[in-house]
Amino acid sequence: MSTRFMTVLGGLSVLAAMVIAHPTSLSQHCSNFPRPEIAGASVLSISSAELNNHTVAAFPPILNQDVVGINVCEVNVTLSHPNANDTVHVQIWLPASKSEWNGRLISLGGSAWAAGHGPLTLAPYAAKGFAAISTDAGLDGNLLSPAGWALKDDGMVNTELLTNFASRSVHEMVVAGKQLAASYYQKPAAFSYWEGCSTGGRQGLVAAQQYPGDFDGILAGAPAIYWTKYVVSELWPQVAMREAGYYPSACEFQAARTAAVAACDELDGVKDGVISDLAKCSFNPFSLVGKKINCNGNEVVLSKQLASVVDKIWQGPKTSSGSPLWYGLNIGAPLDSLAATLDANGTRVGDPFFVARDWVRYFVKADPEFAVQDIDSASLRNIFAESVAKFSDIIDSSSPDLAGFRRAGGKLLIWHGEADNLIFTQDSIRYRDDVQKHLGNGYDIDQFFRLFLAPGVDHCGLGSIDGAVPTNSLESLVNWVENGKAPQEIAAASLPTAASHFTRKLCQYPLVAKYDGKGDQTIAASYRCVRR
């Protein structure tokens, strides 16, 4: 993850409160809300305020454009749980009038170590007419570190707050939101949706598995499904560099990625800077050895050490017998997020990804000083097993049993970038396969659960590379839920910051988009969904 993005994340807890408001009476009903009833929780307080012609300033990458002219009734609920010593804040923005409300409720997830982003995610949905909900899960709002809440005063893991972060807050926010919306509009929401990516995607799957009646539709992007496994495996690139005794520069990693993309780009018949058929891509990183590149004005000769590190990162961590322990990054994904380095007194050293580093320190080891940078293959395997044994029941969202969600009529749509640089694309494929096996091969899983993969797209489509990012995934989900029109494809487009601009269609897994051989290669209409 880039330094710029980490800086952005660090400022979100402050920016979430930085809005421009012009208070004018909107509705006589934005007051005296009854306290919602939430099983297992005590509501400590409830307050509301009218926000008229309200503006929330852009703060990329969470909110990329200003949202202006919002008219909402903001309601804040504070709650706690017995013996948890927690204080949870739930915020809902209700479009000010019935005419501005589209009749739908949407709960919005978080990212990294945050359960939600408050106004930064509430604003665009409220502007579209949704009653929108966010929660902090009782945490401190610091996306970059759980240091403020992970451990209790006695040094033990704070399992109550971890439970809030993992699952409990997902249910309670929508329970509160449904009651408040019904009170304000004098009728219940017609439909309830969830949307989130990364941590937010994991939260959505928690809802489908543990609270199957909460949502009619769930949109989960790049979900952190197998948390206890994949987060530890995010440290593998650091281990690979340490054991090789070589820490490539970002420039070297980019050279390897660029060469891989160039080698596999046209396997689908189109040259667009994107690997669209990973199954056919078998680029050998050792073919780079001896080639010269320009790194910031300096000539660098690509080495066997670089090739070996890249090869191991793509393979992923192994068991002691050499079998796969978990997944590696896909060919074409940026390498220097999980294999980040920094300069320490003139020496390049590893810089472990902050979520993985702090998961091991604060939870698996309950030791903020644990030397994550010293982990080797053997200790990684031990930490992997320890992580699963201690916390899979609390934070993993990998149960394949979606029978309750299916019976409730829920629809689940997952999308995942095939060049995700943080959460392995294979996780989402594995989960779909696990659900299919649980239901039995004779059951048509596509009746309620569809997966879409986005070639050349990085984590949550943040834009470090140039693939086509989904543009109408929520609309597709709403159409599926409310009109019974299951999406076979999702519209996608490259971002404005991309090197080249094109549209594509993302196909329902396991189909892929293939150029039909005629027409403009830069527009989605020239592609059709076919079997691999």
Active site residues: 198, 420, 459
> Residue 138 region, left (φ>0) first, then alpha (ψ -120 to 50), else beta?
left
Kind and range of the H or E run holding 403: helix 403-407
Indicate the pairing of strand 411-417 with strand 292-295: unpaired
Indicate the pairing of strand 88-95 with strand 131-135: antiparallel
Locate 128 and state its tokens: 């579209």
Identity of the amino acid at 448 = F
Q: What is the Cα–Cα distance from 191 to 517, expressed in whole angstroms?
A: 42
Nearest to 63 by CA among 136, 121, 116, 126: 121
Contact of 503 with 519, CB cutoff 8 Å: no
Q: What is the Cα–Cα distance from 144 to 140, expressed in whole angstroms?
A: 11
Identity of the amino acid at 423 = I
Where are the alpha helices (H) located in 319-376, listed in sequence order? 354-358
Helices 304-315/250-264 angle, 10° precision? 70
Neighbouring-strand partners of residue 101: none
Peptide bond into 61 cis (omega under 30): yes
How far, in Å, are 38, 76, 81, 82, 255 from residue 44 at the CA level? 11, 11, 10, 12, 55
Q: Write the DSSP symbol of residue 112.
A: T
Q: What is the Cα–Cα distance from 487 to 197, expressed in whole angstroms?
A: 19
Identity of the amino acid at 485 = K
Phi, psi of 161 (to 5 degrees): -70, -35
Locate 334 and state its tokens: 């940026």
Q: Write the DSSP symbol of residue 265.
A: G
SS3 of 58-90: the string is: CECCCECCCEEEEEEEEEEEEEECCCCCCCEEE
SS3 of 478-513: the string is: HHHHHHCCCCCEEEEEECCCCCCCCEEEEEECCEEE
